[in-house]
């Protein structure tokens, strides 16, 4: 009987000890980067608008600060440059792939899109990734709250990715339009 109980018991104890050590290592090395403007995000903001004093809008107090999203699905954070009256909205949108478009959408003080930068793209290589081409992105510059997204042609063979891009743009300009005062003066 002892021969049948001891091996599983020893293995269970080893698993518990190793799991405990993993938890301790995680807690000792964890760094909360919520609300931190990463180098990629800063570079993207500068690609859109140039140099500026960019910071992520945060809500809450002390250690419990979280990025402001105005409860808009897909919006990860809002980055402001209040001195120059502009903002960049970090957004994740579905294209062909779920969450395949991770974007920074720059909106000027008039509420139109100034530029778009990709933080990552998980769309089909050679097809969906064509939404990164300047020929398509240039059509989205000037996109505003009154822009009919159907007036912008989709990229051939990248319909879902194109629709995802236009949806992200619509969501970003609508959010800016509804919360302009809070974003630029908050």
**Alpha helix ranges (H) inside 30-94:** 39-49
Q: What is the pTM of this model?
A: 0.80
pLDDT tens digits in sequence order for the chain, 186 residues long: 778 888 889 999 999 999 999 998 888 887 656 667 888 999 999 999 999 899 999 888 776 788 989 999 999 999 998 888 889 999 999 999 999 999 999 999 899 999 999 999 999 999 999 999 999 999 999 999 999 988 999 999 899 999 999 999 999 999 999 999 998 886
| CB atoms closer than 10 angstroms to residue 72 | 17
């Amino acid at each position: 009987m002892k021969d049948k109980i001891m091996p599983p018991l020893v293995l269970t104890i080893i698993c518990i000890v190793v799991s405990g050590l993993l938890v301790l290592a995680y807690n000792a090395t964890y760094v909360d980067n919520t609300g931190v403007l990463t180098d990629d995000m800063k570079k993207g903001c500068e690609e859109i608008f140039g140099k500026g004093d960019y910071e992520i809008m945060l809500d809450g107090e002390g250690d419990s600060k979280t990025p402001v999203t105005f409860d808009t699905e897909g919006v990860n954070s809002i980055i402001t440059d209040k001195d120059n009256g502009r903002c960049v909205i970090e957004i994740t949108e579905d294209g062909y792939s779920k969450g395949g478009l991770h974007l920074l959408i720059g909106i000027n003080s008039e509420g139109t899109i100034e530029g778009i930068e990709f933080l990552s793209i998980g769309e089909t290589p050679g097809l969906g990734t064509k939404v990164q081409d300047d020929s398509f992105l240039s059509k989205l510059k000037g996109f505003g709250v009154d822009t009919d997204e159907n007036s912008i042609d989709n990229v051939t063979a990248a319909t879902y990715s194109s629709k995802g891009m236009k949806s992200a743009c619509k969501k970003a300009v609508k959010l800016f339009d509804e919360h302009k005062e809070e974003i630029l003066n908050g």
